[in-house]
């Protein structure tokens, strides 16, 4: 999606002192990309562990909320790091991301992934074994794990694809 307002925003951003600094200081972009990638590794490892537990492939000796209680904070702490590092990359090269449909898709997927993670976490606060209380809940848990994993992997693919679209 490209609109006149978005064009104007990108043109303004590109000429701000902060953008000029990001564009001209050689180490900023690689350093920020490295932090972005480390945070992706933390998020994806945690997502994988929670989803494997949801389908019952790991950690079956631990209750669902105790197990995910170790990994959910990693997701919630890494997301602001991804946001801040992502914003720095956007400010450095606004047109490349803000006007790129793949970037826009990635942001929609990030919002979906946040909604899915909250949807997984919220019922566990009321019932620590919510996702495993009945057969129907277990089926819902497997569906949730598959959808969640697909959405997070799509975010990673979209993130990399931005550079080629």
Q: Which residues bind ligand HEM (CB under 6 A)?
A: 33, 36-37, 40, 43-44, 79, 82-83, 86-87, 89-90, 96-97, 110, 152, 155-156, 159-160, 162-163
Q: How far is the CB of 132 from ligand HEM (least distance, A)?
A: 26
Q: How far is the CB of 48 from ligand HEM (least distance, A)?
A: 11
Q: Is the dihedral of CA 72, 87, 10, 99 positive or negative?
A: negative
Q: Please give the angle made by the CA atoms of 160, 41 and 124, to the nearest 5 degrees.
A: 115
* CB-nearer residue toward ligand HEM: 41 or 66: 41
Q: How far is the CB of 70 from ligand HEM (least distance, A)?
A: 19
Phi-psi region of 62 (alpha: psi -120 to 50; beta: other; left: phi over 0): beta
Cβ–Cβ under 8 Å, residues 137 and 130: yes
What is the rounded CA–CA span in Å between residue 22 and residue 72?
Answer: 32
Q: How far is the CB of 105 from ligand HEM (least distance, A)?
A: 12
* CB-nearer residue toward ligand HEM: 7 or 56: 7
* CB-nearer residue toward ligand HEM: 131 or 152: 152
Residue 83 tokens read as 């946001």
Q: Nearest CA to 100 among 42, 144, 160?
A: 160
* CB-nearer residue toward ligand HEM: 71 or 130: 71
């Amino acid at each position: 999606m490209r609109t006149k307002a978005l064009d104007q925003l990108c043109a303004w951003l590109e000429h701000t002192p902060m953008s000029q600094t990001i564009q001209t200081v050689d180490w900023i972009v690689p350093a920020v990309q490295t932090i972005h990638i480390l945070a992706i590794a933390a998020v994806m490892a945690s997502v994988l562990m929670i989803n494997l537990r949801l389908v019952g492939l790991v950690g079956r000796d631990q209750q669902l909320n105790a197990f995910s209680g170790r990994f959910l904070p990693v997701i919630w702490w890494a997301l602001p790091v991804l946001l801040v590092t992502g914003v720095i990359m956007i400010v450095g090269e606004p047109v490349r991301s803000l006007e790129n449909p793949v970037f826009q898709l990635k942001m929609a997927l990030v919002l979906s992934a946040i909604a899915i993670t909250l949807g997984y976490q919220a019922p566990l606060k009321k019932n620590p074994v919510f996702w495993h209380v009945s057969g129907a809940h277990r089926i819902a848990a497997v569906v949730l794990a598959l959808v969640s994993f697909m959405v997070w992997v799509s975010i990673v693919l979209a993130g990399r694809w931005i550079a080629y679209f």
